[in-house]
Structure 1
Amino acid sequence: MVLAVGNWRQSAAAALADLVPTYTRTSAYGLPAAIEAGLRALVKQKPPRLASHDEWHATVADAIRLASEGWATTALSMGWTEHDVFGIGPHGSNEWLSLAVWVAGRSIVAMDDHRAFTADDDVYYLERWGRPNTTFVAPVMLWEIGR
Structure 2
Amino acid sequence: MTDLDRATAFWSAALDLSPADEWSSPDWCTLVGVDGARVLAVMTSASPPEPHPRLHLDLVVDTTAEQDAEVRRLIALGATEVDWDSYPPEPDFVVLADPDGNLSASSTSAGLPPVAPHREQRPYFGSSTKTGISRSVFSWYSA
TM-score when normalising by structure 2? 0.25
**The structure with more helix, counted as a fraction of residues:** 1
Structure in which a larger fraction of residues adopt strand: 2
Higher alpha-carbon Rg: 1
TM-score (normalised: structure 1): 0.24
